Structure formats: structure tokens, C-alpha cells
């Protein structure tokens, strides 16, 4: 049951001031103090576009998206131009290789970032393209769905298959591909005198079931790595109780597979290595499947962590979009942190995560565990009565009468560092009635956690430092942005 809570007093004051409400509160006019331009220090391929965002910080400690009211400029127009048009403010177009300073200015206050443009054909081996509801996704995909392409090969052969419509999920670990999308024969992983299978459950109540098999996996142009993957097959053996609702097909799930590249290496770890009663791994003989322990080396695991060099983490890079949404968005998944010229950290804060991959979010006077998850297609959090839910059948989503701005504070799992996050929530039904599929302001109720889903990534470079690995940002597991 969700219980309503009173608004924090300071939030009430801010809302009254913002909305121009009348009353007995006299406040001095707020002044613009600084402008932050995001994404910070991005890289583009020549001939592509990138949306920049200007966020103003004011004397009353509030922040506001002022992209449409600032004057934009590029210091090197031969490298990239940036628009001041009424419908394209802040949209940069790259022209040629080089660097340029992108600046946003208003009322004598300015902010800037450095844009690097690389020539066509110079894409690094450690980069995978991401399309959010774009060319790498299947038709009729659900909103805010990030897709990549992964190449799977039969180990020890040159028989390979490139598979699109793979959900990029930073909230899970390992590669999972539906049997219907896989045209290869892969060797079965065995254990406890049977074929190893797995039942994995997700936060939205869905689950996937199927055998664990060995594959050679190619990410971008990196060397192939041999890794156990899950072949999703609800007809394999007898479904255990935890997977009775297992997805039967790509059409039912909404994707051909999942690439889990979150903070951890294995999808279960020591809990499944040391106990047969783990609820995830099973040994199957014929149709009979019983719980079993599985050594770490045979568990489904994050293939990025097995790369020879770029193995300590990933960066998810997605551009900003306008408040009305976008039909699709293109971005990059960069493998490694501080291992190549294109993944050197700059201007980000590291938030150490705990042993289950969570940090802390302070919101509306309460403290919640939280995580940053590209596989969640909205911002999910306890609204505490601040936001109305949509009418059925969309009651899981928020439907405020107008787009509403909020701030929360994220902190590392152990209390520091901390930093504010500004976000907006729009009316889900109104957004869905548009012609767009990608939105930065969709959200819904979560009973007890803060799930920073896909909208959080738009306009940010989000870093994931793997457990047991280090970079200049620290020791994993950590988030950074």
C-alpha cells in the first residue's frame, strides 16, 4: 500500500515561487548564478548531430532547463556549428575533425564544454552503437528501449550471427538470447550430472528460463570472448515455480535478447556457487530440473569483463532531447574506463555502490536505496502523493496535469559524495499520444526504491565501474556521471 506524505516545507516555497502563486511570502527576485552545459566533453563522428542542454542554477538554489532561452555559440564553426533556431536550439552539427568549445550564454553568465569531432571511419574498436527506438530495435518496440547488436559465434568456429534488437540493460549481468532469434548450435554447459539451466527474474515481474550454453561473443570490434550465455527457451525441461510466467518469445518480451553490462561479473556470484537452493540455477535430466550450485566460471556473466583490455567498466552515452520527446535517439556504449583515448573520464563524480549495486537517493524528506538502470524505461520512485497516477490501464504511470519539475539528491552507498539531480515528470498519456517514442520525463510509482531508468541517461555520460576493477574513478562497484 502506498501512503501519502506531506510536502517538504522548502519544496512548497519553491513551488509557490515558481508558479507565481499569491500569498504572504515575499521573496527577492532570483538571479542566474551559473550555467552548466551537457553532455560534458562529448565526442561525435563528423556529419552527425548532438543535442546540448543548458541548465541554470539560481540564487534560490533552484535549477532550470534554459536550453531554449540562452544564446549558443561554437568557437570553431569549421569543426561544428550549433543552432539558435526556435525549434532546434542547442543542436550541434559536426563538420570536420577537431575540437570546439560549445558555449551557452544568458544575462552575462556563460557555461561551456569541449566537443571533440572525429572523422568518419575512425570509430574505435571498443564502441557499440546504441539506438533508442531506432534502427537496431524491432518494429513496434515499447517506449525508451535502448538496443544494441551483438555477434554470437559457435566456439572454435567462424560460424557467427549478428543479432539486433538486444536490450542494453545496465541493471543485469550477462547475455541472454531467445532461442527463436538464434540460428547457431552452441555447446551445453553441464553440472550435477545434467544440463545447466537458469531462471532469472526481473523487477517488472517478468522472468526468463532456458539452458546455459557456451558462446563466443563479439562486442563492437573487440576480440571474441568465450562466455556462458542463457538461451531463453520456455519449452526447455519443466519450468520451475519461479519461472512459471517465463517469456515464451521475442514478441512477448519485446526484444531478441538482453545484454547485461551492470556492475557485477556473474549474474549470481558466490550465493549460487555455494548453495544448490539459490532459486536461479538448475540441473536438468530430461524434463526434470532440480536446484544446483554452479561454479562462477559456468554462471552467465558479463562479457565485457572478459575482454583483454577494455574490461573494467562501460560508459553509456546518450544525447539530450527536447521536452516533447523524439522518435528515436542514437548513442554509444563505450567499453572500458580510462583504457583508450575515447573513454578517459572527465568532469564526473563517482558514487560507490554497495554489494547489491545500490546507492542512496534522498527525496521528499526520505532516504531510499536506488540504482541507475538503462533497462528500465522510466523513472520509478515513491511519489508520496505528489503525482497522480494515470487512469487504468496505465495506472502504473504518472499523469500530472502539466509537466512537473523536481530535484533529488544522490549519494554514494556509504553516504558520500552527494549531488543533486533535477528531473521532470510529464503526463504519460499525453506523451504516448504524440508521434514520439523517446521521452526524458516519463515516470511511475515504485513502492520503496528509486529506479533511475532510461530518462536519466539522456544528456549524460553514465559510467559503470565493475566490481573488483579499478580506474581513475576508483574501485568498483561504482556509478559515475
Distance from C-alpha of 13 to C-alpha of 8, rounded to nearest angstrom: 9
- What H or E segment, with its residue span, contains residue 271? helix 270-274
Q: Span 198-205, mean pLDDT? A: 92
Report residue 123's pLDDT band, with 50, 70 and 90 as the boundaries: low
**Structure confidence at residue 276 as a pLDDT band (50, 70, 90):** very high
Residue 79 pLDDT exceeds 50? yes
pLDDT for position 47: 73
Residue 96 pLDDT: 81
pLDDT at 87: 79
Looking at per-residue pLDDT, the higher value among 324 and 210 belongs to: 210
Q: How far is CA 108 from CA 62, 71, 320, 412, in A?
A: 19, 11, 24, 35
Reported as a pLDDT band with limits 50, 70 and 90, residue 200 is: very high
**What's the CA gap between 203 and 162, in Å, rounded?**
28
**Other beta carbons less than 10 A from residue 215's beta carbon:** 27
Taking the CA atoms of residue 442, residue 202, residue 138 and residue 319 in that order, the dihedral angle to the nearest 10 degrees is 40
**In the predicted model, is pLDDT for residue 27 greater than 70?**
no
**211: pLDDT confidence band, cut at 50, 70 and 90?**
very high
Q: What is the pTM of this model?
A: 0.78
pLDDT above 60 for 179 = yes
pLDDT of residue 30: 85
Domains of the chain, start order: 28-118 (2.60.40.1080), 147-306 (2.40.70.10), 313-480 (2.40.70)
Q: Residue with C-alpha cell 538470447?
A: 177
Q: Does 19 score more than 50 pLDDT?
A: no
CA atoms within 13 A of residue 257's CA, in its CB half-sphere: 28
What was the pLDDT predicted at 343? 94
- The answer on pLDDT for 367 being more than 60 is yes
- Is 90 exceeded by the pLDDT of residue 204? no
Out of 7-11, 213-217, 411-415, 444-448, pick the least confident: 7-11
Better-scored residue on pLDDT, 146 or 11: 146
Helix (H, G, I), strand (E, B) or coil at 463: strand
What is the pLDDT confidence band of residue 366, given thresholds at 50, 70 and 90? very high
Of 143, 113, 126, the C-alpha closest to 42 is 113
pLDDT digits (tens, 9 = 90+) for 443-481: 999 989 999 999 999 999 999 999 999 999 999 999 999
**Mean pLDDT value across residues 325-343:** 95
Cβ proximity of 100 and 80 under 8 Å:
yes
Tell me what the pLDDT averaged over the chain comes to: 91
| Tens-digit pLDDT profile for residues 372-418 | 999 999 999 999 889 999 999 999 999 999 999 999 999 999 999 99
7 pLDDT tier (thresholds 50, 70, 90): very low
Amino acid at each position: 500500500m502506498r501512503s501519502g506524505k506531506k510536502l517538504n516545507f522548502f519544496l512548497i516555497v519553491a513551488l509557490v515561487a515558481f508558479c507565481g502563486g499569491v500569498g504572504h511570502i515575499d521573496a527577492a527576485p532570483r538571479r542566474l548564478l551559473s550555467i552548466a552545459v551537457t553532455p560534458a566533453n562529448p565526442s561525435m563522428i563528423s556529419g552527425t548531430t548532438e543535442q546540448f542542454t543548458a541548465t541554470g542554477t539560481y540564487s534560490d538554489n533552484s535549477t532550470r532547463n534554459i536550453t531554449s532561452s540562452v544564446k549558443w555559440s561554437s568557437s570553431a564553426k569549421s569543426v561544428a556549428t550549433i543552432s539558435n533556431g526556435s525549434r532546434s536550439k542547442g543542436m550541434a552539427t559536426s563538420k570536420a575533425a577537431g575540437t570546439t568549445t560549445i558555449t551557452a550564454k544568458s544575462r552575462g553568465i556563460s557555461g561551456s564544454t569541449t566537443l571533440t569531432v572525429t572523422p568518419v571511419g575512425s570509430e574505435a574498436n571498443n564502441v557499440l552503437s546504441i539506438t533508442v527506438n531506432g534502427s537496431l530495435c524491432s518494429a513496434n518496440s515499447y517506449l525508451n528501449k535502448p538496443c544494441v547488436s551483438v555477434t554470437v559465434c559457435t566456439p572454435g568456429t567462424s560460424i557467427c550471427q549478428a543479432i539486433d534488437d538486444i536490450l542494453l540493460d545496465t541493471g543485469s549481468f550477462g547475455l541472454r538470447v531467445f532461442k527463436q532469434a538464434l540460428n547457431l548450435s552452441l555447446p551445453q554447459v553441464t553440472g550435477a550430472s545434467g544440463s545447466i539451466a537458469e531462471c532469472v527474474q526481473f523487477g517488472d515481474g517478468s522472468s526468463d528460463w532456458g539452458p546455459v550454453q557456451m558462446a563466443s561473443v563479439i562486442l563492437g570490434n573487440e576480440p571474441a570472448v568465450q562466455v556462458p550465455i542463457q538461451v531463453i527457451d520456455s519449452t526447455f525441461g519443466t519450468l520451475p515455480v519461479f519461472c512459471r510466467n517465463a517469456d515464451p518469445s521475442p514478441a512477448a518480451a519485446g526484444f531478441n535478447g538482453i545484454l547485461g553490462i551492470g556492475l557485477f561479473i556473474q549474474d549470481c556470484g558466490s550465493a549460487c556457487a555455494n548453495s544448490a537452493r539459490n532459486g536461479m540455477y538448475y540441473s536438468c535430466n530430461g524434463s526434470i530440473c532440480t536446484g544446483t550450485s554452479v561454479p562462477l566460471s559456468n554462471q552467465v556473466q558479463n562479457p565485457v569483463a572478459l575482454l583483454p583490455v577494455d574490461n573494467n567498466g562501460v560508459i553509456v552515452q546518450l544525447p539530450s532531447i527536447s521536452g516533447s520527446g523524439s522518435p528515436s535517439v542514437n548513442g554509444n556504449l563505450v567499453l572500458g574506463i580510462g583504457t583508450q583515448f575515447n573513454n578517459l573520464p572527465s568532469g564526473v563524480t563517482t558514487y560507490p555502490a554497495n554489494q547489491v549495486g545500490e546507492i542512496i537517493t534522498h527525496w521528499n524528506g526520505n532516504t531510499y536505496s536506488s540504482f541507475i538502470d538503462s533497462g528500465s524505461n522510466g523513472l520509478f520512485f515513491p511519489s508520496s502523493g505528489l503525482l497522480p497516477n494515470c487512469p487504468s490501464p496505465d495506472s502504473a504511470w504518472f499523469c500530472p496535469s502539466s509537466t512537473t519539475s523536481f530535484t533529488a539528491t544522490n549519494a554514494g552507498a556509504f553516504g558520500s559524495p552527494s549531488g543533486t539531480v533535477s528531473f521532470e515528470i510529464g503526463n504519460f498519456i499525453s506523451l504516448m499520444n504524440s508521434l514520439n517514442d523517446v521521452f526524458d520525463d516519463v515516470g511511475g510509482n515504485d513502492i520503496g526504491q528509486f529506479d533511475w531508468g532510461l530518462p536519466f541517461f539522456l544528456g549524460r555520460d553514465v559510467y559503470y565501474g565493475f566490481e573488483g576493477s579499478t580506474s581513475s574513478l576508483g574501485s568498483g562497484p561504482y556509478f559515475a556521471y
